[in-house]
Amino acid sequence: MSLDVVDLRTFYSGPLGAVARRLLGRAIRARWSNVTSLAVLGVGYATPYLDLFSGEAERAIAVMPAAQGVVNWPSGGLSATALGDLDMMPLPDASMDRVLVVHALETGESPRELLSEMWRILTPGGRLIIVAPNRRGLWARMDTTPFGHGQPFSRGQLTSVLREALFSPVHWAEALYVPPIPRRTFLRSAVAWERVGTTLSLPFAGVHIIEATKTLYRPVAIRPARRVATQLRPVLVPARRAPHGAAGCGFMASLD
């Protein structure tokens, strides 16, 4: 079930949402450091992070699920957001170079169908980044944040669903090690929590951040060749001519 857009906007306007936006934005930008002349799409509720690319990308747009609702983005100028069915995006094939999925995979009815649609609209060699809640993290266990709603994932589950949708993971990262508690003590030390958690590879990060590339060819299973036994059939051939004075000639059976 999709979250309400009002709740999402309220979260990101608060202190805990501002911390999440800063930490996740840093990790996303580290992977896509240059999107000049590229088309970038945000899926779900990705507008807090699309600001990273709005002045650089050729175009940046956002599609939000109808059950969630939509907000105008960017705040100034013409709106670049739209409502849509995330399994049937209102975009042509191979039209986007980068796709950022936030607050969508965990709340959708079918993660595989959503990713298959992302595969369709990505250009050959296009890149996808998914931000998904970690099932072992604290953020997935507290419904006071958007990451506590829907289905959290393990790394193995995400790998499986990506490969089924013909994506190949190329980079893994985790973020949001700070507890999701809106107290000044935790908020001020969020960067320190992030540094320690990343350095020690601690298992309780709030979210997975996965970058994957579009696989161009569908794998085909190779079956071993089977030998077909030769079928023997009886064939009538003329018999040898009998010696002078013997019985007349006839036919005999032979196997061909």
Taking 90 as the threshold, does the pLDDT of residue 46 lie above it? yes
CA 209 vs. chain centroid, Å, equals 11
DSSP 94: T
The boundaries of the domain holding residue 191 are 5-214
- Where residue 52 sits, what CATH number does that domain have? 3.40.50.150
Task: Please say whether the beta carbons of 209 and 198 come within 8 A.
Answer: no
**pLDDT at 28 (0 to 100):** 97
β partners of residue 123: none
CA 3, 153, 209, 140 torsion: positive or negative? positive
Say if 247 falls within a structural domain: no
Say if 96 falls within a structural domain: yes
Q: How many domains does the chain divide into?
A: 1
- Tens of pLDDT, residues 88-121: 998 999 999 999 999 999 998 899 999 999 999 9
- Tens of pLDDT, residues 187-203: 999 999 999 999 998 98
pTM, two decimals, is: 0.83
**pLDDT at 215 (0 to 100):** 86
DSSP 20: H
* Largest pairwise CA distance in the chain: 123
Taking 90 as the threshold, does the pLDDT of residue 242 lie above it? no
Quick count: other Cβ atoms within 10 Å of Cβ 193?
A: 18
Say if 187 falls within a structural domain: yes
- C-alpha 113/C-alpha 118 separation (Å) is 9
Say if 235 falls within a structural domain: no
Say if 228 falls within a structural domain: no
Say if 233 falls within a structural domain: no
Task: Please say whether the beta carbons of 62 and 42 come within 8 A.
Answer: yes
Task: Give the mean pLDDT of the chain.
Answer: 88
Say if 145 falls within a structural domain: yes
DSSP 64: E
